[in-house]
């Protein structure tokens, strides 16, 4: 019988077995093989890690920024050298295709590259002679210990929205990966272990809700970065704020796309299919609702139905597979229940992806691409984040009606428009209430040197992950006003 490994934490520069009494199985969602067990580290361990990180901060912040980023240059090199192995691990535990996993890691590498520019990004500003003999300047200094609470859907990318910037700015860091997919961060920390960083600068602790609550309560942790559902984002943000911590909390989404009659049908169909069904719909920028305007209805409906029917679903490590699994049996059940709810609310199941039989992987957590046609715009299915490979279709008469429909949503993560009209594009990006806008783009994912935006119940906080805003989040400003003697000779 195969022995299943219990994953260690990485604390103070070394691997350390948790004293946790509870563990969870890490399951390959395609094969149902148990890959490992993850410990649910207790609050006492988190508090010990925070104490270690605080002690390390006192010396790390004195390390010149040019020295701090040298570790990131080396990390970038190691990530590139090990990209294939890391991608295979993501696919094993997360269920997405290998191509999607490789793309995810490329985004991680790009964030490391941008964080290597922190010596420029961290600069303040100064002004001489604000009064006679008095100068004033603003400088940026690190916060201290910061924590990252990561989700399951991008285990190799999302921690990199935050921690390269955090440590480059002089903070020390604690990462808690999702208990559903902790193996990827285990391998990333295997690379971090080769960097020669001072012990305690960056730490990994596995766990569940008790560990999260300990992060929220620990007074030595000054800032929290979170990505997950809106309900949990609200919880993390409110608890963090109540305890005087900075927080940036990315929540859920219901990303719409408008298709105007003048849109390029072939391009639009391909892009929306990739957006709706890529990563099995388990991403915060997945297109969830397609809104056709005027004569676009029938042609787009026929085209997207054909794209959904022909998408190849299977084990993510197999060649030619275009879509993998959802993350768990619970997710599969929830998604299939929402499909049925859409039907009960008056929608038509145009393409039904429930309960597919994937040869060789009959027990896997698969759902094929699904299309719900003519859903009720006021129904629950039009408002709920499905987080699965389900695209809902709505038809409206004008773009103004579509924008009004989009703006009534509680979410504001992303909205997209497909058109050849520059005037329509400008109206759309000006009026739509969403933080990430795509024009003839289906996944408007910002590059690493732009912030990953989000409005309304899709984001709680002021500063987002990535780029300059990450630098601002992980630093605090200090304004210095100083007077020097005007008679320089008196100094000697």
Give the CATH number of the domain where residue 329 resides: 3.40.309.10
Give the residue-averaged pLDDT of 73-102: 98
Clarify whether residues 327 and 354 are in a common domain: yes
For residue 489, the model assigns a pLDDT of: 54
pLDDT at 490 over 60: no
- Establish if 488 belongs to a structural domain: no
**Quick one: how far is CA 381 from the chain centroid?**
23
CA angle 194, 198, 202 (to 5 degrees): 75
Closest CA to 98 of 323, 435, 393: 323
Clarify whether residues 146 and 278 are in a common domain: no
- Establish if 485 belongs to a structural domain: no
Clarify whether residues 172 and 217 are in a common domain: yes
Clarify whether residues 31 and 178 are in a common domain: yes
- Establish if 262 belongs to a structural domain: yes
For residue 2, the model assigns a pLDDT of: 73
Give the length of the chain.
492
For residue 124, the model assigns a pLDDT of: 85
**Quick one: how far is CA 208 from the chain centroid?**
18
- Establish if 139 belongs to a structural domain: yes
Clarify whether residues 229 and 284 are in a common domain: no
- Establish if 77 belongs to a structural domain: yes
Give the residue-averaged pLDDT of 316-334: 97
- Establish if 1 belongs to a structural domain: no
Question: Which residues is 146 bridged to in the sheet?
Answer: 173, 223
Clarify whether residues 205 and 293 are in a common domain: no
Clarify whether residues 121 and 225 are in a common domain: yes
| pLDDT (tens digit per residue) in 353-373 | 999 999 999 999 999 999 999
Which residue would you say has higher pLDDT here, 492 or 334? 334
For residue 199, the model assigns a pLDDT of: 98
Clarify whether residues 210 and 333 are in a common domain: no
Domain at 25, CATH number: 3.40.605.10
For residue 201, the model assigns a pLDDT of: 98
- Establish if 446 belongs to a structural domain: no
For residue 488, the model assigns a pLDDT of: 58
Question: Which residues is 10 bridged to in the sheet?
Answer: 15, 204
Clarify whether residues 353 and 277 are in a common domain: yes
| pLDDT (tens digit per residue) in 211-251 | 999 999 999 999 999 999 999 999 999 999 999 999 999 99
Clarify whether residues 414 and 305 are in a common domain: yes
The Cα-based distances of 136 to 122, 171, 472, 480, 481 in angstroms read 17, 25, 20, 6, 4
- Establish if 456 belongs to a structural domain: no
Domain span including residue 314: 255-439
Catalytic site residue from 116, 249, 284, 416:
284
Residues 6+ apart with CB under 8 A from 310: none
- Distance between CA 331 and CA 312 in Å, rounded? 20
The Cα-based distances of 161 to 82, 154, 206, 461 in angstroms read 19, 11, 19, 15
- 284 has catalytic annotation: yes
Task: Give phi and psi for 76, each to the nearest 5.
Answer: -55, -45
- Distance between CA 492 and CA 489 in Å, rounded? 6
For residue 485, the model assigns a pLDDT of: 72
Cα-Cα-Cα-Cα torsion 308, 424, 459, 337, nearest 10 degrees, comes to -30
Clarify whether residues 377 and 472 are in a common domain: no
DSSP 90-129: HHHHH---HHHHHHHHHHHHHHHHHHTTHHHHT--EEEEE
């Amino acid at each position: 019988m195969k022995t299943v490994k219990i994953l260690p934490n990485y604390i103070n520069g070394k691997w350390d077995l948790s004293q946790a009494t509870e563990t969870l199985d890490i399951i390959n969602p395609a094969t149902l093989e148990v890959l490992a067990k993850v410990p649910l580290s207790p609050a006492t361990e988190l508090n010990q890690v925070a104490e270690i990180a605080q002690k390390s901060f006192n010396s790390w912040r004195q390390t010149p920024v040019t020295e701090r980023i040298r570790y990131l240059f080396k990390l970038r090199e190691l990530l590139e050298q090990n990209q294939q192995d890391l991608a295979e691990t993501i696919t094993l535990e997360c269920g997405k295709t290998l191509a999607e996993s490789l793309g995810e890691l490329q985004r991680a590498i790009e964030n490391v590259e941008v964080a290597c520019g922190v010596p420029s990004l961290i600069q303040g500003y100064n002004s001489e002679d604000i009064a006679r003999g008095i100068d004033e300047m603003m400088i940026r200094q690190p916060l201290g210990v910061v924590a990252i609470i990561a989700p399951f859907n991008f285990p190799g990318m999302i921690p990199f929205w935050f921690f390269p910037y955090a440590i480059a700015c002089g903070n020390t860091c604690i990462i808690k990966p999702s208990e559903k997919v902790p193996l990827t961060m285990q391998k990333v920390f295997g690379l971090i272990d080769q960097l020669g960083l001072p012990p305690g600068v960056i730490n990994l602790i596995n766990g569940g809700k008790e560990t999260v609550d300990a992060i929220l309560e620990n007074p030595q942790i000054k800032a929290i970065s979170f990505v997950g559902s809106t309900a949990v984002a609200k919880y993390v943000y409110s608890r963090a704020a109540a305890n005087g911590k900075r927080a940036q909390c990315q929540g859920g989404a219901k990303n719409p796309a408008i298709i105007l009659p003048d849109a390029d049908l072939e391009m639009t169909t391909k892009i929306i299919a990739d957006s709706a069904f890529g990563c099995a719909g388990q991403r915060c920028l997945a297109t969830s609702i397609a809104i056709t305007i005027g004569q676009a209805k029938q042609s787009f409906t026929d085209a997207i139905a054909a794209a959904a029917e022909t998408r190849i679903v299977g084990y993510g490590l197999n060649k030619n597979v275009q879509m993998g699994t959802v993350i768990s049996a619970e997710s599969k059940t929830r998604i299939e229940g929402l499909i049925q709810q859409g039907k009960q609310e008056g929608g038509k199941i145009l393409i039904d992806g429930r309960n597919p039989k994937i040869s060789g992987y009959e027990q896997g957590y698969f759902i094929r691409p699904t299309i719900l046609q003519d859903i009720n715009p006021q129904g629950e299915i039009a408002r709920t984040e499905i987080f699965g490979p389900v695209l809902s279709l709505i038809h409206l008469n004008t773009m103004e009606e579509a924008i009004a429909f989009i703006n009534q949503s509680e979410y504001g993560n992303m909205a997209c428009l497909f058109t050849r009209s520059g005037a329509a594009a400008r109206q759309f990006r000006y009026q739509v209430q969403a933080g990430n806008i795509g024009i003839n783009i289906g996944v408007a994912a910002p590059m690493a040197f732009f912030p990953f935006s989000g409005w309304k119940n899709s984001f709680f906080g002021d500063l987002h992950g990535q780029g300059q805003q990450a630098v601002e989040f992980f630093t605090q400003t200090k304004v210095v006003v100083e007077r020097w003697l005007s008679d320089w000779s008196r100094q000697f």
